[in-house]
Structure 1
Amino acid sequence: MPSRREFLAAVGAAGAAGAAGCVRIGGRTGSGAPVSGADVDDSATAAVYDRVVPSVVGVRVYDDSGPLANGSGFVTDDGVVTNQHVVAGASRVKLRFHGNVWRDADVVGTDAYSDLAVLSPADRPASATPLGWVDTSPEPPVGTDVLAIGTPYGYDGSASSGVISGVDRLLPGPNDFQIADAVQTDAALNPGNSGGPLVTMAGSVAGVVNSAGGENIGFAISAALAKRVVPALAADGDYDHSYMGVRLLEVSPTVAAAYGLEDVGGVVVTQVADGGPSAGVLRGSDGTDVVDGVRVPTGGDVIVGMAGRDVETQADLSNVLALRTSPGETIPVRVRRSDAATTVDLTLGARPEP
């Protein structure tokens, strides 16, 4: 993985096509117009902005050599939420509240696997009232209008509008793990937006802005995942994610042909970690086959259900693990094994530290 400084240098140069993460101090700040994806003069949209912006903060991070990076955050009942990558390596953190009010803050807890962090500000301004999370039963559907509010390039109180353009996305995480259940949006996201809220027109947080993937596409950590992780970070300083100890391959048409499956769907176990939770419970691949010029690992269990939920894609499996299970819990896993259907009981572990 790149170093912290390599990552910050990359996103500072990437613009809209790079990670929204942080912007390097000394970059594009203090001149030009604030970044905005769409006009916000509609009365309803402007009212949402006016209600939410006092609870949105700029996050300035320092290391022992001085100013390091800028990001965004917002006030919740558990403290100020931002991204883990915004505050990673920080020796000091300062928060810029609306109206240019500055406060020191302590890092209470961080979780690299969800890219979330909780900060505790000193003497929070009274106007910075906690924002609430959206109702996640069900979560807001694709097409829901949203605003991303934050400090791109250090510009305080910037807003961009758009819609939720996708759900159940998987984002890259450390140690080859993925962040489950991410929200996709077409609201403009830029360096410095990371950690800020993606809010609905009701003013509720639908996600914690994480990154920009390209033109008209960006991502946020879902409210459903944040509602599990953030309270634990505030209370204990960390969060344990469920862990199976396997490598997986989604069933594509090529994989289905290699396994003799009539339908595309499910996830193949290609490898089981020695001594991991799945050792002796699930079976990994023990051979290969070539289909249409593609070498496919064969012989592994095909997971088609877990914890009472169907598994059609790797996103389905990741969502079940992230949102519906906890380490130490024993769950039923439905698999196809040697052309027969069976169910095994799997006791989940906790992911190793990144």
Structure 2
Amino acid sequence: MSEGEFHYTDLYRDVVPAVVSIYVDAPDARTGRGAGSGFVYDRTGHVVTNHHVVAGLARDGAGRSRGLPDESGSPTLEIRFSDGDWRVGRLVGTDPYTDLAVVAVDDLPAAATPLPVASTNPAPGQPVAAFGNPMGLDGTITTGIVSGVSRTMPVGGGFTIPDVVQTDAPINPGNSGGPLVAVTADGTPEVVGVNRARSGDNIGFAISPAVVARVVPDLLETGRCEHATLRVTTLDVSPAVADANDLTEPGGVLVVDVREGPASGVLGGCHSSRRVRGREVPVGGDVLVGIDGEDIRSTEELTSYLLTETWPGETAELTVRRPAGETRETVQLGTRIDPGENGEIGGRIAVQ
């Protein structure tokens, strides 16, 4: 197969041995049996899936499940391969910020060949196929194209996953954690996204390979992934936000609130609001237009840069637009706390 050329029977034959169905059995009847998908990441038995697929597993003090399930009534993790083989799994690590997780099995079936993850994000219009376990139907393939890239998806607590891939390939409950696959120039299937959610008719989303490359190695090494943060809430500077704040043009992100952390005393948040075009708009905060020399035109760009290009403890140079003009401020980035510790923030405000 040439790049973008799909012979679906060949693609299915090559990919489906690496696709697994993941089942979480909880003894609590209110929780029941959860199901999702995943794909074999390496020959040592690691499988990549979504955090929310395995979130019901028993937790240790660090919020992660350790070891094989026992008979204490804790939920169990079972993995079924395409050839019908079953394995009991253990949770290696999870990252709620990006909804990624890694589980492991001993004695990986010989046919379960790992799928390589793409080194770059896919392009709009590129043909793709989604694999997984939708509605409990093991080994399902659906097809479409990449409808868009650089999307943002909320994960709760005001936080978002940046750099998300949008596709019209059908993604249904149970597909979560399965691979979104494209074909390289030499005909090799590779993962260009980890299926996560469906937002409407012909609108599905997948976590991009750039985010997978940032997060999964950390999960394999330490069981968790630490993310850099400014501890500010932001809002895209749309035309209405620009008007309310007496800005000459839209672009950049408005700092709505500064929480205790790296930006305290460095950045200023909004102090009031103004009604513009029928809605209340925060006013008075700093506007971020750059970080480390990179232009910031939206919250998505800021979130993506922080996730893929920075680490907690590093310093970042912010370009800040204020009434007196542009200035540069240096901050030492902090570490994000659990999303569950943050209150839900509505609208287009996001925590960075």
Residue deviations 1:167-186 (CA, integer Å, cap 9, x gap)? 11111113211111111110
In structure 1, the partner of 2:177 is: 195
In structure 1, the partner of 2:276 is: 291
SS of aligned partner of 2:157: helix
SS of aligned partner of 1:173: strand
CA distance in 2, matches of 1:151, 1:290: 47
SS of aligned partner of 1:46: helix
Q: Contact 2:147–2:168 at 8 Å: present in 1 too? A: yes
Q: How far off is 1:65 after superposition?
A: 4.0
Q: How far off is 1:259 after superposition?
A: 2.4
Residue deviations 1:105-159 (CA, integer Å, cap 9, x gap)? 11111111111110101211011111111122xx211111100011111111100
Unaligned runs of 5+ in 1: 1-41
Give 1:167's aligned amino acid: V
Residue deviations 1:11-68 (CA, integer Å, cap 9, x gap)? xxxxxxxxxxxxxxxxxxxxxxxxxxxxxxx962321221111000000111234751
Give 2:36's aligned amino acid: G
In structure 2, the partner of 1:140 is: 122
In structure 1, the partner of 2:18 is: 55
Equivalent position to 1:251, from 225, 237, 262 = 237
CA distance in 2, matches of 1:238, 1:294: 40
Q: Contact 2:214–2:308 at 8 Å: present in 1 too? A: yes
SS of aligned partner of 1:204: strand
**TM-score when normalising by structure 2:** 0.85
Unaligned runs of 5+ in 2: 58-74, 340-352
Residue deviations 1:87-106 (CA, integer Å, cap 9, x gap)? 11122111110111111111
Give 2:16's aligned amino acid: V
Give 1:72's aligned amino acid: S
Equivalent position to 2:104, from 113, 120, 128 = 120
Q: What pairs up with 1:49-128 in 2 under 5 angstroms?
A: 49-65=12-28, 68-77=33-42, 79-90=46-57, 91-128=75-112
CA distance in 2, matches of 1:92, 1:208: 23
Residue deviations 1:320-346 (CA, integer Å, cap 9, x gap)? 111111111101110101241011011
Residue 179 of structure 2 is aligned to residue 170 of structure 1? no
CA distance in 1, matches of 2:53, 2:322: 44
CA distance in 2, matches of 1:44, 1:293: 52
Q: What pairs up with 1:1-354 in 2 under 5 angstroms?
A: 44-65=7-28, 68-77=33-42, 79-90=46-57, 91-136=75-120, 139-202=121-184, 203-273=189-259, 275-354=260-339
CA distance in 2, matches of 1:292, 1:175: 27
CA distance in 2, matches of 1:229, 1:43: 29
CA distance in 2, matches of 1:287, 1:103: 57
CA distance in 2, matches of 1:264, 1:337: 14
> Aligned-residue CA RMSD in angstroms?
1.5
- Alignment: residue pair count: 310
SS of aligned partner of 1:269: strand
CA distance in 2, matches of 1:100, 1:261: 61
Call closer, same or farther: CA 1:43–1:89 in 2, change over 3 Å.
closer
In structure 2, the partner of 1:29 is: none
Give 1:247's aligned amino acid: T
Residue deviations 1:288-337 (CA, integer Å, cap 9, x gap)? 33333333222111001112211111111111111111111101110101
CA distance in 1, matches of 2:281, 2:289: 18
Q: Contact 2:320–2:326 at 8 Å: present in 1 too? A: yes
Give 1:251's aligned amino acid: V
CA distance in 2, matches of 1:94, 1:245: 38
Q: Contact 2:6–2:183 at 8 Å: present in 1 too? A: no
Q: How far off is 1:257 after superposition?
A: 1.3
Structure showing the higher helix proportion among its residues: 1
Q: Contact 2:287–2:321 at 8 Å: present in 1 too? A: yes
